[in-house]
Structure 1
Amino acid sequence: MPESWLTPIDNYCERLAPGFWAEPLNAVSNGAFIAAALYALALWSRVKTRDWPSLWLVSVAVIVGVGSFLFHTFANRWSLLADVLPIALFIYSYFLLAMRRYLRLGWGTAVAVTVIFATFNMSFARLWLAAFPGVTLNGSIGYIPAALAMLAVGALCFEREAREPGRVLLAAAGLFALSLLFRSVDAAVCPALPVGTHFLWHLLNALVLGLLMRAAILHADRRRPTHAPG
């Protein structure tokens, strides 16, 4: 492995030195993603519809937890990819599912809209920094489009007779905004709170993913007369 991939990364308040357990709270809090995935898997196993797209989301949620754990323990360039790529995969997978399942778009339109969203997402940081030079939000800029997408799609759900997923998406957007706040202030609170606040980003994000997966599973076939378990 090239040395550049092993270059240490120190992005968070909790890490004061190199070492596998230099970020214990940031590392262990990733167990919340695994817990959210296990909850969703248990729910998935109880509904009558075997919904494979939802099971895919559950699998990606597990990978999100593992990838983030690797980054907050190894803390180098290769583990950074293990952290950010699964998160992006979950975001785009869920966006596509929402286009199909909640807004009931055809496959071609749903994929096209997802590509447009992905393009906007990848360009957003550059647009933000052009408008607000130097305001990096501690590296949280790239997650703002996901919050905006949850708000927009949640609102549109109410026009497509998908009110329950709409309510969940709006609630998830609020929680995600709070989690973004904790991610953004991690470095700023270091003098007063040496452990930082990044671990709260993990805990709240796990809750967001749990809510999103629950909505996807219970809305797998909303035309069924049988009520899915809560």
Structure 2
Amino acid sequence: MEWMREIDGYCERLDPGYWAEPINAVTNAGFLIAAFIMWRRVRGQGLPLAMALVAILALIGVGSYLFHTHARVWAAIVDVVPIGLFILVYFYGVNRDFLGLSLWPALGLTVLFLPYAVITAPLFQLVPGLGGSAAYAPVPLLILIFAVFLRPRAPDTARGMTLGAVILIGSITLRALDGPFCEVSPMGTHFLWHILNAIMLGWMIEVYRRHMRPEGRGVATT
């Protein structure tokens, strides 16, 4: 693998310099801000998985910053690995704590996300204009599927997940529009992907926190 190969994939980048994407780089602070806010909300509540998600959220900000400043293959890997880790850890939490599965079934269902993404991502690539952002599209779809299953037993949690999916759909749309908007704005739209993603990921941790708190489960009553 060409670890040091330069990557020019965003509207804002016009040269290989460190600060060639200043807006894309700086807006990664949103992930750190969201992580700090959620750390304050989940600390001391006995939610180790939520704390792990907070730590991964901070790593997403660091990894994305490194990618948008160095813009090389190694930095791209540092960028996407925390994102993938957040997805897997969160869906494990959904399987274990939202659906009530035991350890091994929860892990098994989480691992199935990988073939699910491999199968569905090419289908999303058929959507005109989605391009490379199609790789992220299976995520909001799966969130919505989980929300449907959770609605009878935990309607508040289902609504929270639905809101998160809607925000992510908007975020993915803005990511896909980065190239087409180059002629309109030299900044593109990728920085808005960062901002909305920071909000969405922080919100999804909050959804988990509320579900795990007795007063925030949103369990339907009869």
TM-score of the pair, normalised by structure 2:
0.92
Number of residue pairs the alignment of both structures matches: 217
Secondary structure of the equivalent of 1:84? helix
Report Cα offsets for 1:1-21 as digits up to 9, x if no partner.
x7x211100000000111111
Matched, 1:192 2:188: no
CA contact (8 A) 2:121 2:136 kept: no
What's the counterpart of residue 130 of structure 2? 137
CA contact (8 A) 1:92 1:118 kept: no
What percent identity do the matched residue pairs reach? 36
Matched, 1:80 2:90: no
Deviation at 1:155, TM superposition (A): 1.6
Matched, 1:12 2:4: no
Given candidates 168, 178, 197, the residue that maps to 2:170 is 178
Deviation at 1:178, TM superposition (A): 0.4
Deviation at 1:223, TM superposition (A): 7.2
Deviation at 1:220, TM superposition (A): 2.3
Matched, 1:216 2:214: no
Greater relative contact order structure (CA < 8 Å, 6+ sep): 1
The answer to which of 141-150 and 211-220 deviates more is 211-220
Instruction: Please tell me the residue identity of whatever aligns with 1:187.
Output: G
CA contact (8 A) 1:60 1:86 kept: yes
Report Cα offsets for 1:53-80 as digits up to 9, x if no partner.
1100000000000000000000000000
Given candidates 23, 38, 47, the residue that maps to 2:36 is 38
Matched, 1:152 2:148: no
Using the alignment, how far apart are the partners of 2:214 and 2:39 within structure 1? 19
The structure-2 alpha-carbon separation of the partners of 1:51 and 1:205, relative to structure 1 and needing over 3 Å to count, comes to same
Structure 1 residue ranges, 4+ long, deviating more than 6 angstroms after superposition: none
> Which residues of structure 2 form unaligned runs of 5+?
218-222
What's the counterpart of residue 220 of structure 2? none
Report Cα offsets for 1:152-210 as digits up to 9, x if no partner.
11121112x22222111000100100001100010001011110000000000000011
What's the counterpart of residue 110 of structure 2? 114
> Which residues of structure 1 form unaligned runs of 5+?
226-230
Deviation at 1:136, TM superposition (A): 6.3
